[in-house]
Each structure stands twice: as C-alpha cells, then as structure tokens.
Structure 1
Amino acid sequence: MNDILFGNNNGPILKKLTKRSLKANKRRNFFLVMAIMLTTLLIGSVFSVGMSLVESVKMEQIRFAGTMAHAAVGHPTTEQIKRLHTLDYVKEVGTGNSVGVVQNTADMGNISLTLHYFDKTEWEELRAPAYVDIVGNYPEKENEIMVSRGVLERMGIDTPSIGMEIPLNYYTDSENRDSIIQETFTLSGWFTSYAFVQSTETADVIFVSHALSQRYGKTVEKDGSASILFADESRVSEYCNALVADLGLAENQPVAMVQLYEADAGQGTATLLSLCAIVVFLIFTGYLLIYNILYISISHDVQFYGLLKTIGTTPKQIKRIVIRQVIRLCLIGIPVGIILSLLLSLGVVPFLISELGAISTEEAVVSFSPIIYVGAVFFPLLTAILAASKPARKAASISPIEAQKYTGVIGTVKHIRTLAHGKPYRMAWRNIFRDKKRAGVVLFSLFLGVTTFLSVTTLVFSTDVSKYIDSAFESDLVLDNETWPAQTLDDSLVEQLMLIPGVENIHATTWEEMRLDYSDAFRGYIANHPMQEQISALSEQDIEDNFNGFLIGVDGETLTKYRDRLGNPIDIEAFDRGEIALIATDNPELFSNVQELNITPSYREENSVSNQQEYKFVLGGFVPFSYKGIGSSLAPTVIVSNTIMQEWFGEPAVKQLDMNVASGYEKNAFIALKQIIGNNSGISLTSRIESMEELDRAKMAVLVLGGSISFVIALIGILNFVNVMSVSVVARKRELATLESIGMSRKQVRKMLISEGLYYAIITLVLVLSAGNLIAYGIFKLFQQQVSFAVFTYPLIPAVSIILVIMIICFITPERMYRSLSRETITERLRETE
C-alpha cells in the first residue's frame, strides 16, 4: 500500500527482475532445485514407506482378527443396543448370535465350527472388509450358508460354486448336543478368512441367515453380542470402560476388546511421533542446504541488490524478489520429488514391506493418503521459505554504499606479501575459518549426513540373523503334516530320512485330542481366552461340557531351551518319565491356581482302547503359546512326553518331524529332503538355512532403504560443501590473482585450495569418528533393548567407503574450480574484478 502511495508500484518490474536473476544464476538454481527435490523425495518417501508399512501390518492384523470392530458387548438387551446408536463415540454397531455347533466329520479333522448369524451392518461394515476374495452374497434364505475357503477345503471342496449343496450335522444347544440335526444347505457365497487360514487356531464360523436363527429362537440377548466400531481407535480402552456405565452392563455382559487394539494400544501414536521426528530431521537437513546456498548466493549478489536500492527498490521488495525466486524453483523441485516419491511407492514400497516380513507383496497396502502428498508439498515449501528468509533479510538490510564496497570475501588477508611466501596448508587453515558461520554450516551438514549413514548401517550390520534363527528354530529342518490326523509322517518316511548323509537325529511331535477336567482354577484362563468372541455366548456349563483341547507329545531333549523360561524350571527327567505335563501359554499367571491336570485322551475310533480313562499329572511348567504352531482349542494345549503318547495311543499321529544335521550338510540335506517329499502337498518343509536366506534378503532391504535415505542426507552435506567451495573460489578470484601477482606460484595456490577441501574432510571425519560413533553406539543400545538378537557390529566397509567418497570429493572440487579459473591470465582476472 505504501508503495502505491509513494509512486513506487513496480510489481511488473519485480517479476522481470526475478526471472532475470533466475536466468543469471543457473548453477545456483541447479543446487537449489536439487536440494528442494531431495528434501521432497526424502519426506515423501518416509511418509509413504512409514504409512504403507503401518497400514499393511494393521490390515493384516484386522484380517487375522476377522473384524473391523474394536470391541464387543456380550448379551446386550434391545434397549442397550438402541443406546449404543446414540453414543457420540460409537461409529457403527453390528449384532450377531450363535445358532448352532457343527458336528465334525472324519475328513474335517480338528476344527471347531459354529453356525452364526450377523445382521447387515455387522456383515457389510465390520466383517466383509476384513475378508478377501469374497464371492456371492450373505445368506438370505433359511437353507443358505456362506463358508470360508479354508473350511470348504477341509470339507473336501476345492472348486465351490454358487448353489451347490453342502450337508451338515449340527446341534443348537449344548444341553441337546445328542439331538443332531441333519440338513442340506445351499452355498450362497464364500471368502478367504485370514483368521482361519493364517492363524494357529482351529475354529471358524459358518454364516447363516436370519431366517434360520429365528427358526430356533436365537436372539442377540441370549446367544450373541454387539460388535462396536468406535469413532477414535486410539481411545478404545477408554471407550470400553465408558460402555459399562453408559449401558448399565450386568456381570454377565462382558465388554471384550479386540486383541489387536489391546496389544497395540499407543502404537499408532508412537509410530506417528517417530515419523514426525524423522520429518523434522529431514526438514532440518534440507534447511541447512537451502539456507547455505541462498546465503552464499546473496553474498555474491550483494552489489546487485545494492544497485536495486539506489533506483528506489524497498527492502520489502528485495525480500519479495528472493522469496519469489525460491518459490519458482520449488515449482520445479517439489513436483519432481513427488513424482519420484510416487514411483517409489508403486514400485519399491510393496517389495520392501514384503521383504521386511510384514506381509506378502500381493497383500501389501500402498498408502496414497492425502497426508503423504500434502506433507510432501507443504514441508519442503516451508523449509525453502524458512531457509530463504534470513538471506532475504540480509539482502534487504545492506545499504547501497556498503554494497558497492562489498567483495564477497569475508574477513581480510593481512600481510598478503608475507602469506604469498608462507606455507599453503597454513593459509588454507586460516581461510576456512574466515567465515566461521559458513564453515560451521558445511561441517555440521557433512557430520549430520555421515553420522546418519553410519547409524543406519550399524543397526543393519548389528542385526545378527544367525542368532535370531538359533532362538526361533529348534532344529535344522522341520517337516509338517498338513493332513493331520492322517499319518503322513510314518515310520517308513523316517527310515528314508535317516539315510540322508549328515542326519544326526530326528525328533517327532505327536498330536492328539483330549478332554481336560474343568474347575474354578481355570476361570482366569477362560476370562482371557484368545477365542473370546467364539466363546462369549457359552454358559459355565457349556464350557465345562466342552473343555476339550489338544495333546502334544515331544521328547524331553527338545524342551532344553525352554527349561528356565516362563516361570518355574522344567524337570526334563520327570517329564520324560511321565510324571509332569506342561501347558502352552504366554501368560503363566492365568494358571497360578492350577496344581494338577486331569486328562482324558480322546481316541479316534480305529485306535480306541478306552474312551473314559482319566490320567493325573502335576503341572510342571510352561512353554510359549506358539510352541510347535499348534495353538489351542477351548482348553489349553497340554504337552506330555512321547512315551506317554505311545502308551495311550499306540501309534499317535505325527504332526511334525524335527531333523538336525551335521555342520556343512545343511544345504545338501535340504535338497535331498525336497527330492524325497516331491510334490506331496500334505507335507510342508521349513529349513533353517532357507529362513536365514529370507532374513538376509530382509536385512538387505533394510540396508537399501535406510542406506539410501541416509546416503541422500549425506549427499545433502556433500552438495553443501561443493557449493560453498566452488562459490568461495569464485568469490576469491581477485585475491587469488593478487597472490599470484606478488610471487605465489600456481602450484602453491592449487595446493592451498586442495588443502582447504581436505581440511573440511579431516575435521568432518574427526567429528564423525568421535562424536558420531558415540551417537551411533547410543542408537544401537536403544535398538538392542527392542531386538534381543542384536550384536554390535561396526560397519567397517560402509564407513571406509563413505570416508573415501568424502576425501575424493573434498580433493577434486577445489582443484577443478581453480583449474577453470587459471585458464585466464593474472591480468585478465585482476581487471575482471575491478
């Protein structure tokens, strides 16, 4: 407004000056565009990889849980369901109830199936999004069912079709479990359920219609629950507590939080904070480069800005010229950075996520959240404007008279004639710190980039894959029986395996079913059962009548690694003698009141010896819940010795064979084993050496991702040095010519400039090898607290490589710049700077 009042409205001229200034500073523009592009790429990549990884893992967990819901309320009344719809923190409410329990056939094996009805909201909003490959529709007619692919395969149906008939035997109430209903249903659709396919649980649900539920008088209040999706998933625990008061829930109306949100409470916030910390770090590194480039550029163009002031340009207008130049360069650098980030998301992110072991490439969720691209535009633009503000104020504050006297060289060179005959390396040391601020920015950005690179590579190199494999694998090779209870891993196969060169021993894991006496001592376990949703509708009598589970037989030798884990030490000798039994759990405190286990083996008809004999065991300890990949049924999984299993069952079904081979024979034994198995789909093979190779690939993926990002950060520091050094040589053109004119040889000048570059490198490396290594080690110690198999390993080869790169660049840059100047004669250089 003031410009207009005083006749100084020269906006169009400012635009022309901005354009011409951009054209006159092509080298500076290149560095600025590169800085803006790299900052955008880094921020976009971090957001993209981070958010995609989080969403992929979360989606896998949701699919594993089988529902989008956050919690469920057992046996809600009609009034309570109406009340749920009015609560402001509740987003969706779906209901469902149990209709019956399927009686397994021999082909279906160890699977517990229930018939369940879900209302429209429950299916469309909470269940369907957690499934994949949905074909057909939810059942509408009384005789229609919808089944998961995994269950269909258990039924022997590999190629389902809409309308095909599926006979089922089921009962509707536990007290009438002997009144079996035989009915033929029509298949209305199917889907892939991760909760069944990928979990170790052996329970699933067959969906039925509302009409069938009504036929047997089933209701949500008596036989079901209400699933709830909250408005804010970060407050699930808080909302679950609020429901008790808001709904006036009774003791028999439990609020069950979906395990995903119970386990991951606060994880989303921690991830967001981590991403923000990384983004702030990247903004800072980008700021350093952009600020330094503009600071040097404006110092070089001070006379130009001084001339603008003499013709009436105001300080505000000069600031506007500088800021406009940066914004125009952002219009080039930011789109290029976003495009590169987008290509990275599409091509590299799924690969990285799968290699990191989060989820398969096909199932990876690539996040295209607007937050990514808004952040990738906003933060680099903010960085550029902030970095340009201070240099712009400098350009605006200098007076025309000061501008005319400005030479672009900070500090003065006293006794120049004496210096001309001095030592070049001493002159170089003094020259570096003539502009302490500029030297500090360059050294700090180089230190920051190299330290980041070393920290990332230290973490990757310190990830000891072999140590992790030793902790995760009990043997070198594992054969799994996928057709249990069929005896696929029989004695004839074991004899073949023992003939493979290098095989030292083979341990069998047998698997049968059993019934466990239920008592009050198991109440804590039932209250925290992993299949809470499936059992929430069961009464205390139902649980007592159906307290069945799995019985695992192993050799005591295989329990050595668990001897002192999870509570009291395990007496291996007593275990082998059959005096004690173990429970598979990650929460031993749930069984603190359990002293002994009363087990009744469940015999298959062909092996039936006695159907009612009960055996007593002292509870002798615990193994992890994931032990042998069995999982659990309603009762906890119990582990006894193979001697006991053979005594009870004669020839118990072998679920797993663990093979150990002599050192050096692993690869050959793996190849021989694959040849013996051939195309037998009933046997799966897991190899320690193959798993190690997969983890090595994941480790390489982390190295590529983290190393690339940290290398780009190091590159920002290197670009800072190149820019500073090249501008410094050009700005000191007259000074260098004067030194040559009074007796300093070109060789000495060249040596002085190269020494300056090498001093930058040496100072940076001293800082990195001292403070930088301490920072890297400190980050490793924090990492080690989360990853127990991490062993500190210094990344010697990457460290030497980055040191060589910096030394070479710091040597070549000043030498090349001086070579370009020395093509002119001393007289020409002296005249040009007058």
Structure 2
Amino acid sequence: MLQVSRCACKGCFVGALAGIFLVVVLMPGVLSNMYLQGLGNASAMIAFRPWILAASVFFGAGVTYLSSLAAMLRLSGMSAVESAKYMEKASVRPFHRAWKIHRSMQTPAADPFWKNAGAPGRNMFIPASMAWGNLFRFRRRACLTIVSLALGLCISLGAVVISRGTDTTNQIEYENYDFEMISNMSVLTAGAYPEMEEIFPESMVQKIAGLKGIEKLQQVKGGFGCIRMDEKAFELRMENIAPGEGWKEEFCVCVVQEVSREYLQELKEFFEEKQLFLDLEPVIEGTGAIMLHYNLFSQAEKENSRDYTGNPFTMYDLFGEKTGEMTFCGYLNFKEKGLPELETTWNGPDIIYFLVSEKGLKRMQIPSQTFLLLLNVKQEKEPLLKNTLTQMLNEHNGQFAAKASHDAYVTDSRTITLQTKSDLLASARNYIASSRMVMFVLCLILLFMGLMNYVNVTAAGLILRQREFAVLESIGMTKGQQKALIPFLLYGKRFGKTTAEWKNFAHTSDIS
C-alpha cells in the first residue's frame, strides 16, 4: 500500500500541475484563437475551480488503488516461497505444442535444424525469435497492449482526416474574390434614406477600376423600391412571410438586382432541365421580374405558383410614387440544388428580392445603385491595393461617422465595408490550427497511454529475465555460459534433445 501510495502521490501531483497549466494557460489561448478572433482573451470565461481539481485527484488515486487491488489480493494469499518463485503461466498455442512434440520425436540425424545448428547463419534469427517470444509469451497482456496502441493510432489518423476535412481554406480560396467592397445599406434600412441617390458613388467605382494591378472587376448593381402588399401576383409569397422592419403601411420595401443576359441564359437552361415554373422571355426582354425565396413553398404550392405567373404588378420608389409596370415571371428558390452561382447583396428569407435584366431595371425607373464591387488582383500588388482601398473607404465613410457622447464612432448604413480574402484565410487558419492542436494533444495523450502500457509490459518481462539471469549467475554460471545457453533455450526442443541430454549438458556446463 505504501508503494502504491508513493506512485499515486507522484502521478496526482504531476497531473494536477498539468491540469492547472491546461485550464489557466493553454485553454484560454486556444479558445481566443478559435472563437474570439483576436478580439480579446477567453481567460475571463474560464474559472479555475479547486474542487474540480480535487475531485480529479481523488479519482486518479482511486483508479490507481483499484488497479493494484487484484495484485495485492493475489500476493496476500501467497506464502513467501510462492511469491518469490511466482511467474505468470505463458500461453502456448495447441498447434505450437503439437509441433514441439513432433520435433522432439525426430532423431538428431533426421532433424535439419540439428544438422545446421552450428551453421554461421543459424544464430542470426535468435534476437528476432527472442523478441517474438517476449511479445507473445503472455497473449493477454500482448493483446491489450496492441489494442491500446492501435486505438491511439486509429484515433490519431481520424483526427488527421477530420482536421483536413474541416479545412475551409481551399473553399475560401475558390469561392471568394481577393477584395469585396459591399454597401452596408440593406432593405431594412433603405427606407430611412429615400433621398440618397448613390450609396456606392460611381466616381469611386471608376477610380478603383483605374488602379494598376486589377485583373478582374465585377460590379453587382440594382436598386431599392416598394411594392404593394395587396398585389395579386404576390399573394402566395405574402402568405409565407411575416411583416418586419421593411414593411411600411400597405407598401413593402424590396431589392431589385440586375443580372446579365448570359446569366439569364444559364438560368433558362437550368429551369428547363429542372422543369421549373418560370417564364424568362419577359425578363430577357426587360418587361418581367423573378422573385427569389428560401425554401418557402411545398410541392403543391410550387404547382399553384404557376397560376400567378404572368400577372402584372406596379413598382414604386422609396417615396411611394409609381415608377413602372412589370410582369411577374415566377418564383425561384435561391436554395435550389444546382442553381447557377449568383453574387447578391444582403439577402435572406424575409427579404423581397427580384431579379431583372438591365432593360428591366431601366423600365422600373428606380435609382440604380452599386451593391457590391468584386476585385481580383495580381498577387504582388495585393498589399499596396489593400492599403489604397482602405484609405479610400476611410475617407468615404468618414463623412457619415456620427460622434457619440462617449467619443466613439457609430457605423452608418451608408458606409462601405472592405472584406479581403487574405483576412478570411488568416482567421480560418487560426481556427484550424487551434482545433488541430486540441485534437493532436488528445491523440498524443492516447498514444502516450498505449506506449506506457507497452513499456510497462516490456519492463516487467525485462525485470523477470534479469532476475532469472541473476539467479543463474549467483549459482556460478559465467556470462559466457549464459550467452551460450540462450540458443539452446530457444531451439533445444527443435534440435531433438531429450531431458537426459539436457541434464548432461547442465552437468558439463557446471549448472546445478
């Protein structure tokens, strides 16, 4: 019990120090990198509770005592002589036992192993045989060790697969432009600024387009308008939406986005393949509009939506004045699988969102706005362009910054935000690196447990062998005789020696 207590005290002390380091130092840093993205430290969210540490220490000590209890009970029932010569019974397979009996019945002349016993290359397999016997002499312990190591390795490989599968850097690299400049004006706030003609100034767009190093520039354009809630064309849509901040008495503020003729052709091929209830010809001609939605309709409602296609509706500006007549051309599910990719402004389930052609936007006669500006640039020019764009946006946003009483600037909906791919990749890499570190630490702990189990089994066998050789040495056997004895201990049965011959060998070798 004293020996077990010493082991338990040492282990619990080291474990307590490791736990305190993990909770107080390592975990806050990992959580800060994974979730706070550099906005602060997570140490305030993690409280160190001594009673949890004490419970862990008692649990570890309890497991140590329980695992040693079986050996204690076995030793308490043994006499001193029995415990001194106790050795776990080795596992011998029936086939191996039958093979050894068969080999022992062979005569030395007919035994090829006995003939080649003195061959130069014969003894080179002795270390491998010794290692094999040391591993599988006690099959139960060997199997537990192998299972423990295999479990640690499998979980480690699983952690590698999971970490690679959750790596979103390639997705970010593929799906995002180098720079995205988006207006913070949305359908929820557009009604508060009806007099604003240009949210994203066209002069700024032209200035940005003239910068050196830009390989591709894509401009997402559209406008904000109003529709009446009692329009017959939108009856099905109004049944599936709850009024929000975008609603204004009998009018509803909506977004209208201009799409290219090429995109409409792709969309036409898509809806013909999917057999959707859309009429794209008026949209292409500039007299119709499509309304987006987010999985709002059932299959029956999808079929009923065909009845609303072709109905006229009136478009109004943000002041409530009539601007144009359009034809409703159907509903399009924005979450439809295989839908051609489309860059949109702020969008969501409760937002009325139309798609029109360039002619259709002019027909609606609502102020044209730039929602989004997408840029791909040369890699060597990216740092310089990032500084230039940041400076331009700071100058533009500065005119809308309202100084609050606490001397902090409040963001205005008329400002423009710059989002860079490099920042997204950096934040994703920090998150992935932190999650990988957590998983790898857990895997290393499991591997360490398996290795310690293996070392424990190997060390126990090594101590037993050392004790046996110490006994042989104490009765007069020299080191040379011990080395000469190892081959015969391994291959004696195979060489066909009988018990009498072994006794004679022991007598001539001065072994009592």
Correspondence list, 1:277-356, <5 A: 326=8, 332=13, 335-344=16-25, 347-354=28-35
SS of equivalent to 2:328: strand
Shift, 1:684, TM fit: 0.9
CA distance in 2, matches of 1:385, 1:612: 85
1:707 to 437, 440, 444: 440
Q: Deviations over 1:87-115 (max 9, x none)?
A: xxxxxxxxxxxxxxxxxxxxxxxxxxxxx
Tell me, yes or no, if structure 1 residue 582 matches structure 2 residue 290: yes
Tell me, yes or no, if structure 1 residue 644 matches structure 2 residue 360: yes
Q: Partner residue of 1:302? A: none
CA distance in 2, matches of 1:376, 1:530: 52
Does the CA contact (< 8 Å) of 2:324 and 2:364 recur in 1? no
2:314 to 600, 603, 626: 600
Does the CA contact (< 8 Å) of 2:258 and 2:358 recur in 1? yes
The normalised TM-score by structure 2 is 0.64
Cα separation, partners in 2 of 1:722 and 1:431, compared to 1, 3 Å: closer
CA distance in 2, matches of 1:455, 1:642: 51
Unaligned ranges ≥5, structure 1: 1-17, 24-28, 30-325, 536-541, 753-834
Cα separation, partners in 2 of 1:505 and 1:373, compared to 1, 3 Å: same
The normalised TM-score by structure 1 is 0.42
CA distance in 2, matches of 1:478, 1:409: 73
1:515 to 227, 231, 256: 227
1:501 to 197, 209, 213: 213
CA distance in 2, matches of 1:550, 1:635: 8
Q: 2:202 is aligned with what amino acid?
A: D
Q: Partner residue of 1:616? A: 327
Q: Partner residue of 1:717? A: 450
Tell me, yes or no, if structure 1 residue 428 matches structure 2 residue 169: no
Q: Deviations over 1:647-693 (max 9, x none)?
A: 43364122222234468766665455335434543221112343223
Cα separation, partners in 2 of 1:600 and 1:580, compared to 1, 3 Å: closer
Q: Deviations over 1:583-641 (max 9, x none)?
A: 33321426634333754333256xx9x52643222015232599735246966222323
Q: 1:513 is aligned with what amino acid?
A: G
Does the CA contact (< 8 Å) of 2:290 and 2:354 recur in 1? yes
Does the CA contact (< 8 Å) of 1:552 and 1:640 recur in 2? yes
Q: Partner residue of 1:403? A: 83
Q: Deviations over 1:378-405 (max 9, x none)?
A: 8656654654454444444545542132
Does the CA contact (< 8 Å) of 1:514 and 1:601 recur in 2? yes
Moved more, 329-338 or 504-513: 329-338
Shift, 1:354, TM fit: 1.2
Does the CA contact (< 8 Å) of 2:12 and 2:57 recur in 1? no
Q: Deviations over 1:759-807 (max 9, x none)?
A: xxxxxxxxxxxxxxxxxxxxxxxxxxxxxxxxxxxxxxxxxxxxxxxxx
Cα separation, partners in 2 of 1:581 and 1:706, compared to 1, 3 Å: farther
Q: 1:683 is aligned with what amino acid?
A: I
SS of equivalent to 2:322: coil
Does the CA contact (< 8 Å) of 2:287 and 2:363 recur in 1? no
Does the CA contact (< 8 Å) of 2:91 and 2:138 recur in 1? yes
Q: Partner residue of 2:496? A: none
Does the CA contact (< 8 Å) of 2:200 and 2:371 recur in 1? yes
Q: 1:445 is aligned with what amino acid?
A: S
Larger Rg: 2
Q: Partner residue of 2:45? A: 366
SS of equivalent to 1:630: coil
Correspondence list, 1:42-191, <5 A: none
Q: Partner residue of 2:151? A: 448
SS of equivalent to 1:518: coil
Q: Partner residue of 2:254? A: 549
Does the CA contact (< 8 Å) of 2:215 and 2:376 recur in 1? yes
CA distance in 1, matches of 2:82, 2:453: 27
Does the CA contact (< 8 Å) of 2:288 and 2:360 recur in 1? no
Instruction: State the percentage of identical aligned residues.
Output: 16
Moved more, 691-700 or 573-582: 573-582
Moved more, 418-427 or 429-438: 418-427
Higher relative contact order structure (alpha carbons within 8 Å, sequence separation ≥ 6): 2
Cα separation, partners in 2 of 1:619 and 1:633, compared to 1, 3 Å: same
Q: 2:427 is aligned with what amino acid?
A: E
Shift, 1:702, TM fit: 1.6
Q: 2:180 is aligned with what amino acid?
A: V
Does the CA contact (< 8 Å) of 1:585 and 1:623 recur in 2? yes
CA distance in 1, matches of 2:238, 2:43: 35
2:2 to 6, 10, 19: 19
CA distance in 1, matches of 2:149, 2:265: 51
Shift, 1:335, TM fit: 3.6
Does the CA contact (< 8 Å) of 1:557 and 1:572 recur in 2? no
Q: Partner residue of 2:96? A: none
Cα separation, partners in 2 of 1:443 and 1:489, compared to 1, 3 Å: same
Q: 1:404 is aligned with what amino acid?
A: A
SS of equivalent to 2:355: strand
CA distance in 1, matches of 2:2, 2:430: 49
Does the CA contact (< 8 Å) of 1:503 and 1:659 recur in 2? yes
Unaligned ranges ≥5, structure 2: 93-99, 105-116, 337-341, 398-414, 491-512
1:741 to 479, 492, 496: 479
Q: Partner residue of 1:683? A: 416
CA distance in 2, matches of 1:631, 1:624: 12
Correspondence list, 1:523-534, <5 A: 529=241
SS of equivalent to 2:220: strand
2:426 to 684, 693, 700: 693
Cα separation, partners in 2 of 1:634 and 1:396, compared to 1, 3 Å: same
Shift, 1:515, TM fit: 1.0
SS of equivalent to 2:297: helix
Q: Deviations over 1:460-510 (max 9, x none)?
A: 12345354226753x442111236664242222222222232332322232
CA distance in 1, matches of 2:368, 2:43: 40
Aligned residues: 415
Tell me, yes or no, if structure 1 residue 654 matches structure 2 residue 357: no
Shift, 1:721, TM fit: 2.5
Cα separation, partners in 2 of 1:347 and 1:362, compared to 1, 3 Å: closer
CA distance in 1, matches of 2:290, 2:349: 16
Q: 1:644 is aligned with what amino acid?
A: G
Moved more, 588-597 or 614-623: 588-597
Q: 2:2 is aligned with what amino acid?
A: K
Correspondence list, 1:772-791, <5 A: none
Does the CA contact (< 8 Å) of 1:477 and 1:687 recur in 2? yes
Cα separation, partners in 2 of 1:344 and 1:436, compared to 1, 3 Å: farther
SS of equivalent to 1:628: coil
SS of equivalent to 2:352: coil
1:478 to 146, 168, 180: 180
Moved more, 573-582 or 426-435: 573-582
CA distance in 2, matches of 1:576, 1:372: 68
Shift, 1:435, TM fit: 1.8
Tell me, yes or no, if structure 1 residue 630 matches structure 2 residue 350: no
CA distance in 2, matches of 1:375, 1:589: 54
Q: Partner residue of 2:409? A: none
